[in-house]
Chain A
Amino acid sequence: MSSLSTYLFYRFLQAIVTFFGAMILFFFIVRILPGDPARILAGPEASEEDVAKIREALGLNKPIYEQFFVYLTSILRGDLGTSIKYGTPVVNEILARLPYTIALALVAEAIAVIIAIPLGVLAALKPRSMLSYIASLLSILGTSLPVFWVGLMLIFIFAVELRLLPSSGADSPKHIILPALTLAFFLTGNLARMTKAAVLEALSSNHVVTAIAKGLPFSKILVRHVLRVSLIPILTIISLQLGALLGGAIITETVFAWPGIGSLLVDSLFYRDYVLAQGIIMFIVGVFILLNLLTDIAYALVDPRIRDVLWRVR
């Protein structure tokens, strides 16, 4: 097990370095955007004196390296700062929105997994069947239709015309159905296509051919030799999809007025709320890095070859 723990140690170190690298990068990128948060906050009709006072109160009149130093020290103390727009701690703002984003991400991904994986496997086993065509169609539509259009269509069909579901908002579990379906629509196509490809590849690999030649029952081959190998790319896609979803499904959240991280990020950038935007971005980066880490660990658990290779390289 020592190889695995050493691997994990290095992998962890790498994650921390990535996190801080991203932090520095985004600190400056967000501030390079033209626009003065104090002016946006006060409105165009406000006087310059009042704008200057706000700027001062926010510490925006200090040189940028000094602002960076203040930011860095507060981050190291575990403080993400105070939102320029709301005047409240950034952590509170993120935590208030997070449950919505997580709930939406998990429900959407669960719907996608439940539909896409059986669909992908069946499509691979019977490449010329109806199911296979449905899988292809879904993945084409999923990559080509704009999210807001699908969202609005669902709203107009299920909320306006049929009156079965609420159009927007997040007041009850019913409210999650339409945004989750919208997201799942895009996730399913991609996931089904990847599953199909992975299963097809596994089916044509030597060990499966050998297993078939040995005369093993097909169900055993499928579970033991095909699914296990195809799990790796599927896991990768799921973790990438979840990472993207936890960063907030910006368009879906906006269309459905779903109060998650994504709509908060858009809002914060619109107000040039550097502190809040940076906080959200760092949160998203953190989630991505963490999920990548977990995926790598999962790889190592599922596939001994990976950790052996990594061990030898090191």
Chain B
Amino acid sequence: MRHAISRSVIVGVVIVLVLAILGVSLLTGWFGRKVETAPTTVPATTQTPGTTQTTVTAESPRTPVSTKNVLKVAIGIDLDTVDPHGQTTTVVYNVVRHIYETLLWYDEKGNVIPWLAERWEVSPDGLTYTFYLRKGVRFHDSSELDAYAVKANVDRWIDPTVRVPARAQLGPVKGAEVVDKYTVKIVLKEPFAPFLRALASYLLIASPKVIEKYGNKTITEPVGTGPYKFVSWEKGKKVVLEANEDYWGGKPPIKRIEWVIIPDATTRVAALLAGDVDFAYNLPPTELERIKGDARFQVLTPVSNRVIFIAMLPKGPLADPRVRQALNYAVDKNAIIKNILFGLGVELKAPVPDHFFGFYPMKPYPYDPDKARKLLAEAGYPQGFKVVLLHPTGRYLQDKQVAEAVQAYLSRIGVQVELKTMDWPSFVAEITKPLDQKTYDMVLLGWGPAVADAHFTLYGQFHSGQAPPKGLAAAHYSNPTVDRLLEEAMREVNEGKRRELYRQAIEIIWNDAPWIFLYTQAWFYAGVKNLKGLMVYVDGEQIFFHKAYFG
């Protein structure tokens, strides 16, 4: 029996001891460990004296760094890749754009301005773009930005063995030619009018050494020319950048940026309120009033590139333009923006956001249920009809609530809406099916091109060649005139003529009403009040901290 007692006691004691000891040792062992940093291509000897010291802070997270110099920013999703040409997601672009830069950039009004390229020329046929590079710009590994570096990036972008999700968005690039050390030509296969904007948005320039080292493999060492240098990326946790003291555009005031990954939006609010972060991305609209009313914080609500709409499939009653117009009259967009989005939206005046190149304002369909009923009766549906509305949940601001509001509005004119909710991957699988396999009549979708040019919204959504399964033109819209206008506009190098072509296309689309035109989505960001010098990017989604400082 004595033997038995000791065994039972031992088992019990062992459990508690093992738990406690393992837990504590793991904790101290894990948290005290060196933060993993990506191997840097910079040999220590080539580093400038100033930078060798600062890397030390990265290796000992317990060493307090003066909070004045460290900016903590909460973002909602983890990075997927730091490869400059593998980018897909706006927030990730935003982070890596502090490391890499583009040949061109945008001013506050959305005009293209010189950046790594000081000036450029376009050939009359619209096929050759010549860029004169800024001299004396160095990558973080101290190699120089020259025509060869740019060519290496263009070559990698068009290399079909490299994973480049946005390849087609940049345009039909044929290749790059080095003219002299600081002059490079980019040649297109056919004219592509939005090319300069696309270049400013997509083609991040990485160090030629890194490109040589990785070839067509995913780049895991981000080395660019930007105001911040990469320090570490702990997946699911944070990305740390430190100021590039030798930045050609002037040393950034904030020494270190920590992008902290906090998936839950309410936790991001809490982290901001608790003072754990200085700035937080993409907060829930329901918290807008509370944070606005708190003197400690500033609120940003930039309007994005993303239009939100309900695409109607050309089948059944919805094949009749009068019915589609009726549905536009039946929904009170401004009430939705005010009451459901808490003001975080702007009513659509065209199928593209107001700040896009090529935007032309139409008269929004006013909320007029009587007119809607009349149009329905004219089209032969005085009693209304039944439709299925597909919508994602948790993808766009208040998407589910907006779909429910539309359902309620349409029921007032006799159109009975059955809602079909899906998570994002299932939703995308459903909308990419061909028309005859679709199990819905209307779909709530957002469309947010990275480039603020009407081409990317109109061509992607209204050119008949982009209908699923080939593209994602959600309304399966098909109109030969619109097709022709959009193709011409894509090739037209003259900006005035291009605007005119888009004006014509927008008028046809607006009156044909393949969408219920809803709103352009705005975002809700907030930060501590003394954080100054923030720059909002032209897409309204990205914030830049190059010149930010604590006042």
Contacts and interface: CB of A to CB of B under 8 A. Distances in A.
A76 interface: no
Interface in A140-178: 148, 152, 155-156, 159-160, 163, 166-173, 176
A231 interface: yes
Interface string A86-102: 11100001001101101
B538 to A, nearest CB: 16
Which of A37, A44, A107 counts the most B-chain CB atoms under 10 A from its CB?
A44
Interface stretch (A64-72, A124-132, A220-228, A305-313): A220-228
B160 interface: yes
A183 to B, nearest CB: 12
A257 B168 contact: no
B414 to A, nearest CB: 32
B19 A109 contact: yes
Main secondary structure of the interface of A (DSSP, over half): helix
B27 A173 contact: yes
A231 B7 CA distance: 12
Contact of B31 (A86, A172, A257): A172
A256 B267 contact: yes
A267 interface: yes
In this complex, the member of A47, A256, A298, A301 whose beta carbon has the largest number of chain B beta carbons within 10 angstroms is: A47
B276 A169 contact: yes
Contact of B165 (A50, A223, A235, A259): A50
Interface residues of B, number: 73
A54 B166 CA distance: 11
B270 A254 contact: no
B20 A110 contact: yes
Given A42-B88, A45-B449, A159-B270, A259 B19 contact: no
Interface in B432-455: 432, 447-450
Given A44-B472, A114-B16, A163 B164 contact: no
For B236, B238, B260, the residue with the greatest tally of chain A CB atoms inside 10 Å of its CB is B236
B490 to A, nearest CB: 14
Interface in A24-58: 33-37, 39-51, 53-54, 57
Contacts of B423: 270
A309 to B, nearest CB: 18
Contacts of B7: 301-302
B270 A156 contact: yes
A276 to B, nearest CB: 11
A97 B235 contact: yes
A92 to B, nearest CB: 9
Q: How large is the interface on A (under 10, 10 to 19, 20 to 34, 35 or more residues)?
A: 35 or more
Which residue of A87, A103, A110, A167 has the most chain B CB atoms within 10 A of its CB atom?
A167
A228 B5 contact: yes
Contact of A45 (B30, B31, B456): B456
A263 B263 contact: yes
A259 B11 contact: no
B508 interface: no
A106 B231 CA distance: 31
A135 interface: no
B357 to A, nearest CB: 17
A33 B167 contact: no
Contacts of A290: none
B452 to A, nearest CB: 13
B470 interface: yes
A159 B274 contact: yes
B276 A168 contact: yes
B549 to A, nearest CB: 24
B23 A166 contact: no
A231 B8 contact: yes
A21 B450 CA distance: 45
Interface string B416-428: 0000000111101
B267 A35 contact: no
A163 B275 contact: yes
For A45, A87, A96, A170, the residue with the greatest tally of chain B CB atoms inside 10 Å of its CB is A45
B534 interface: no
14 contacts: A33-B426, A40-B428, A42-B166, A43-B88, A45-B447, A50-B164, A87-B81, A87-B218, A113-B15, A152-B266, A168-B262, A169-B237, A254-B264, A302-B8
Interface of A: 33-37, 39-51, 53-54, 57, 85-88, 93, 96-97, 99-100, 102-103, 106-107, 109-110, 113-114, 148, 152, 155-156, 159-160, 163, 166-173, 176, 223-224, 227-228, 231, 235, 238, 254-257, 259-260, 263-264, 266-267, 270-272, 298, 301-302
Given A50-B167, A107-B23, A110-B23, 5 more contacts: A36-B432, A42-B166, A46-B169, A263-B236, A302-B8
Interface of B: 1, 4-5, 7-9, 11-12, 15-16, 19-20, 22-23, 26-28, 30-31, 61-62, 78, 80-81, 86, 88-89, 160, 163-169, 218, 220, 234-238, 260-264, 266-267, 270-271, 273-276, 423-426, 428-430, 432, 447-450, 456, 460, 469-472
